[in-house]
Amino acid sequence: MLRRAVPLLLLLHGAQSETAPPKADYSINSIVGPCRRAAGEQCGGVNGHGEVWEVDGPEASCCAEGHVCAYKTMYYSECVPMWRNESPARTQRTLEADTIGEVRSALDNFYLIINAQIVFFMQAGFAMLEVGIISPKNAKSILFKNLLDMCMVALTWWMWGFGLAGGGASGQILTEGSSFGDFGMGKGITEDGSGRAGGLDWLNSASFLHSLVFATTTTTIMSGGVAERMKVEVYIFLSVILSSFVYSTVVSWAWAGDGFLKEMGFVDFAGSCVVHLVGGCAALMGAILVGPRRNRFTDTGDVVSFKSTSLVLSSLGAMMLAFSWISFNGSSVLSTDHSNLELSAHAVTNTLLSLGGAGVTSVMFPALTNKGTYDLPLTINSMLGGLVAVTAPCAFIDNWNAILLGVMSSLLTMYSSYFVMMKLRVDDPLDAFSVHGACGIFGTIWTGLFARKDLLALVNHTKGAGLFYTGDPELFLAQLAGCGVVILLTTATIAGACISFHLALTALKAARGSDEIVVDDIGEEDGGLYGEDESAETDSVEEGNLNFFEKVMLSLRFSKDAEIVGADFIYHEGNAFELTKNQVIMYNQEKNAQDRIQRRRDAARRE
């Protein structure tokens, strides 16, 4: 298909290959269709690759009666049947239109595939972001979980997730028997056994790849909320549930043509709600059920700060995510016709403007309110919050509106993080809910307030527009309903999955004849819920001492010793960041020098 596409494009611009026969030799001469050639030439000529297109025929009468010799590209022609009541010129134009359609289909596939690769790079960005924020003793564990959930999602999305998502999965074309497991492969094989795949296979394969990388993004968001204490097997189980059941269901409701949210008028261009709110709600529910990291909260209610591995890695991860977000939002037009590419460019422009507004706000606001200091993690999260918020309305709002959205989402990220940590007492190590959940809701609702009617029309949306422009609340109410449905579905499913895991573990314990809660394969939780009694002789917890949700929590999280020393030591043969003797000496020297400098500064201030 691509080999035909290049010469066709050259023909459309008036170019002609040096190896192609002169156009005059291929002209359509009459209804009977003799392709007049010089004596001795083969009927149909020779294409640009030296291959004979048609068999030999009598001179000046290559095609049978009722057929014409018509161009398919500038390289070759072939005898084709005349359509009833059509002239030879009309037949030629029809063939050219068909070929242009093939080229457009190929370009659409290429567009989806290349953007899927760029969006897939977000996995590296999330990995660097997470491993930079969490404790060094769990760095390997975070990377391992991110790699493993990527593999599991690929398999489960192929087996059933893509089928459940239906037409909402990046424009999947649905045919009988093509929506489960093989995603339509084999449906376009020719009867003659040549093995040439039909157009349906090409399109659905590209749609599968594009929708898959969106599904993996949803799952990885959850990882940040449960980092450093959830068991690997629990996380993988939740990843499968989230990506191939929850996310695929939301996609079918919101993006498929017959989805009930879509029919209600709900709009989410690239996934503030469909992708990020799903992941953010899963992260919040997982963080609640698995409990906070050990020693995160003191008895007096203070929050203990943990040392991060490397803010350099986190910054690198944020830059990777910003780069991939361009394709994440821009490719959601799904095709390459002129109007869609213009809409894509507009969406990408708004994406970067929102990023800029959020980032600048994260620097200016704390500088004005916190003694002029700068907070790099806060800036990273604010930038990501701006990207999340603009993902839903990026194609439908004005440029100035995108900047304002970035400013507001930055403030929302800051205060949402404070509320979740200090008021709800939920330990969310990467502020996954604040960034993806709260900003996902905000961006979805923003669409209902400021989406322009003319831009919505480009995606065939006819049910309302931004409330501030039209005064019609239809779109705004649809956006609220969409957020509510996604929150209920995601939180209920993740909670049910965690409880189901606990019940299965309890049944396994009963089958083994044990009266203790087994929390992992290297040891059992001791001395109460968080093991405060360091001298306890027993390594188990009697069921009668805990309520149901505390039992669920113990089933989901590491053992006490595993959490203290870190998952890397227990499961990955040592920490990723081991210090040599000389490094320890140098660290102590650096620390002592910092203390001396700080004492001199304090003394200077007192004077």
pLDDT value at residue 494 = 97
What are the DSSP calls for 551-586, one per residue?
Answer: HHHHHHB--HHHHHH-HHHHHSSS-SSPPPHHHHHH
Q: How far apart are CA 7 and CA 445, in angstroms?
A: 47
Q: What percent of the chain stands above pLDDT 70?
A: 71
pLDDT value at residue 105 = 78
- Tell me the per-residue pLDDT of 140-167, one tens digit each, with 9 for 90 and over: 999 999 999 999 999 999 888 888 888 8
Q: How far apart are CA 286 and CA 382, in angstroms?
A: 22
pLDDT value at residue 75 = 40
- Tell me the per-residue pLDDT of 512-553, one tens digit each, with 9 for 90 and over: 765 544 444 333 333 334 434 443 333 444 455 788 888 899
pTM of the entire structure?
Answer: 0.77
DSSP conformational letter for 132 = H
Q: For residue 58, what pLDDT band results from cuts at 50, 70 and 90?
A: very low
pLDDT at 196 over 90: no
Q: What is the mean pLDDT of residues 51-76?
A: 48
Q: What is the mean pLDDT of residues 226-249?
A: 94
Q: What is the mean pLDDT of residues 41-51?
A: 41
**For 95-109, 332-346, 380-394, 469-483, which range has the lowest pLDDT when averaged over its residues?**
95-109
pLDDT value at residue 352 = 98
pLDDT value at residue 7 = 43
pLDDT value at residue 305 = 86
Q: What percent of the chain stands above pLDDT 90?
A: 47
User: Looking at per-residue confidence, does 380 or 509 come out higher?
Assistant: 380
- Tell me the per-residue pLDDT of 263-277, one tens digit each, with 9 for 90 and over: 999 999 999 999 999
Q: Cβ–Cβ contacts within 10 Å for residue 188, how many?
A: 17
User: Looking at per-residue confidence, does 93 or 107 come out higher?
Assistant: 107
37, 100 in Cβ contact below 8 A? no
Q: How far apart are CA 461 and CA 369, in angstroms?
A: 43
**For 86-95, 314-323, 338-347, 528-537, which range has the lowest pLDDT when averaged over its residues?**
528-537
Assign domain 121-499 to a CATH class: mainly alpha
pLDDT value at residue 22 = 34
Residue 489 CA to its chain's centroid (Å): 19
Q: What are phi and psi of 297, to 5 degrees?
A: -115, 135
pLDDT at 296 over 50: yes
Q: For residue 327, what pLDDT band results from cuts at 50, 70 and 90?
A: very high
pLDDT value at residue 525 = 36
CA 19, 23, 29, 31 torsion-angle sign = positive
Task: Pick from 8-22, 33-47, 325-339, 483-497 the range whose average pLDDT is largest.
Answer: 483-497
Q: For residue 72, what pLDDT band results from cuts at 50, 70 and 90?
A: very low
- What number of helices (H) and strands (E) belong to the chain? 23, 2
What are the DSSP calls for 244-313, one per residue?
Answer: IIIIHHHHHHHTSTT-HHHHHT---SS-IIIIIIHHHHHHHHHHHHH-PPTTSB-TTSPBPPPPPS-HHH
- Amino acid identity, residue 347? A
Q: For residue 301, what pLDDT band results from cuts at 50, 70 and 90?
A: confident
pLDDT value at residue 454 = 93
Q: How far apart are CA 435 and CA 413, in angstroms?
A: 6
Q: For residue 53, what pLDDT band results from cuts at 50, 70 and 90?
A: very low
Q: How far apart are CA 250 and CA 215, in angstroms?
A: 11
pLDDT at 85 over 50: no
pLDDT value at residue 570 = 76
Domain limits of the chain?
Answer: 2-100, 121-499
Q: For residue 505, what pLDDT band results from cuts at 50, 70 and 90?
A: confident
- Tell me the per-residue pLDDT of 567-600, one tens digit each, with 9 for 90 and over: 887 777 777 766 666 766 777 788 888 888 888 8
Q: How far is CA 37 from CA 53, 56, 88, in A?
A: 15, 11, 18
Q: What is the mean pLDDT of residues 176-183?
A: 48
Q: What are phi and psi of 542, to 5 degrees?
A: -75, 140
User: Looking at per-residue confidence, does 178 or 279 come out higher?
Assistant: 279
User: Looking at per-residue confidence, does 553 or 388 come out higher?
Assistant: 388
Q: What is the mean pLDDT of residues 457-483?
A: 92
pLDDT value at residue 456 = 94
pLDDT value at residue 91 = 54
Q: How far is CA 353 from CA 103, 267, 270, 366, 405, in A?
A: 34, 21, 16, 20, 9
pLDDT value at residue 585 = 77
**For 119-133, 187-201, 315-329, 472-486, which range has the lowest pLDDT when averaged over its residues?**
187-201
Contacts of 440 (CB under 8 A, 6+ apart): 272, 273, 275, 276, 277, 280, 388, 389, 391, 392
